[in-house]
Amino acid sequence: MADPEPSKSIQALSEELLALEEERETAERLRRIDALKDQAHTLEPLDGVEDMALADYDRDWLVRYTYNSNAIEGSTLTLEDTSLVLEGEFVPSDSPARYVFAARGIADGMAYVREYAKDGRKLDEELIRRIHEVTALDLQPFARGTFRPYGHLARITATRVKTADPLEIRDDLRSLIDGLDGSDAHPLLKAAGFHAMFENIHPFMDGNGRTGRQLLNFILLGHGYRPVVIKYDADRAYARSLEAWQVDGDPASFCSTLLDCVEQEERAFTDLVEGLRRNRP
């Protein structure tokens, strides 16, 4: 069922994030993560050995990211299957072809995300459409990069979430982007808020989750953080944390999940580089 006024949540988002940032535990976690990010930046530039090690890590990261983002949406591809699919020479016979195309799309879309962030592209409707177009490779061409048409009411399975009316999608996205651009909240909380509200709007006929996670990483990269993997879990903790924010107005659980992921990735980078430097003869 569509929500005729999702703009109410969007308009309240900045104040909600600022209030969360003032909480002691959240503020401390943000300071800890930013200290890790600053530490990582002091390690640059990397030498040739470190660059190769980071490239290996990023390849493994992409497999994990693709597997988890696909699995959250119901894919039956295993982590090993996903690795082989991304190598380009494997099509599992016991999984639907759409999951193979979806995996390829996630990997290709992430390449665009990294390039757009590197180029300093602005988050806007055009970029959102383009990321969906290249990510949702399992959809029919007419549905890629195209917002839900009038009358198409999206339903998020097994949740109480009501998505935006198709006629309000453009206005809601513009309000969300403009509101966060003008917000003084911490970039990590703004990234979390964008993701939660983007999924609430649910602008496309399908592929919103995968696209939303791509856009989340675009925002993180744009603010100097490493991209993250949100892990699939059978208990649907990720989906339930989003629902708690979208329906009950409780951002704490999802923000905590995202901060955990960001801290893990920032620490992994510093541990990798510092470990190489410590072990040199």
Per DSSP, 163 falls in state E
pLDDT at 99 (0 to 100): 94
Q: Two tokens at 144?
A: 């890629």
Rounded CA-CA distance 190/193 in Å is 5
Q: How many residues does the chain have?
A: 281
Rounded CA-CA distance 21/34 in Å is 14
Average pLDDT, whole number, for the chain? 94
Which residue type is seen at 94?
A: D
DSSP tally for the chain: helices H, then strands E: 12, 2
CB 196 within 8 A of CB 10: no
Domains in the chain: ranges and CATH: 2-278 (1.10.3290.10)
Residue 5 has pLDDT above 80, yes or no: no
Residue 76 has pLDDT above 80, yes or no: yes
Please report which confidence band the pLDDT of residue 7 belongs to, taking 50, 70 and 90 as the band edges.
confident
Residues in the annotated binding site = 206-213
pLDDT at 3 (0 to 100): 52
Average pLDDT over residues 128-147: 97
* Parallel, antiparallel or unpaired: strands 163-164 and 2-3: parallel
Rounded CA-CA distance 210/69 in Å is 6
Distances (CA, A) of 5 to 1, 67, 75, 164, 186: 12, 34, 32, 7, 26
Residues in the annotated binding site for ATP = 206-213
Please report which confidence band the pLDDT of residue 50 belongs to, taking 50, 70 and 90 as the band edges.
very high
CB 113 within 8 A of CB 97: no
pLDDT at 11 (0 to 100): 87
Average pLDDT over residues 157-185: 93
Encode pLDDT of 194-251 as tens digits. Answer: 999 999 999 999 999 999 999 999 999 999 999 999 999 977 999 999 999 999 999 9
DSSP character string of 98-125: HHHHHHHHHHHHHHHHHHHHHTT---SH
**What pTM did the predictor assign?**
0.95
CB 16 within 8 A of CB 179: no
Please report which confidence band the pLDDT of residue 159 belongs to, taking 50, 70 and 90 as the band edges.
confident
| Of the listed ranges 17-21, 121-125, 135-139, 159-163, the one predicted with least confidence | 159-163
Per DSSP, 220 falls in state H
Residue 272 has pLDDT above 60, yes or no: yes
Residue 178 has pLDDT above 70, yes or no: yes
Which residues form the catalytic set?
A: 202
pLDDT at 35 (0 to 100): 98
Rounded CA-CA distance 187/181 in Å is 10
Q: Two tokens at 28?
A: 């401390």
Per DSSP, 48 falls in state H
Residue 269 has pLDDT above 60, yes or no: yes
Q: How far apart are the first and last CA of the chain?
A: 63
| Of the listed ranges 15-29, 38-52, 190-204, 234-248, the one predicted with least confidence | 234-248
State the residue for tokens 């994030």.
17
Q: Among residues 129, 134, 163, 159, which one has the least CA distance to residue 147? A: 129
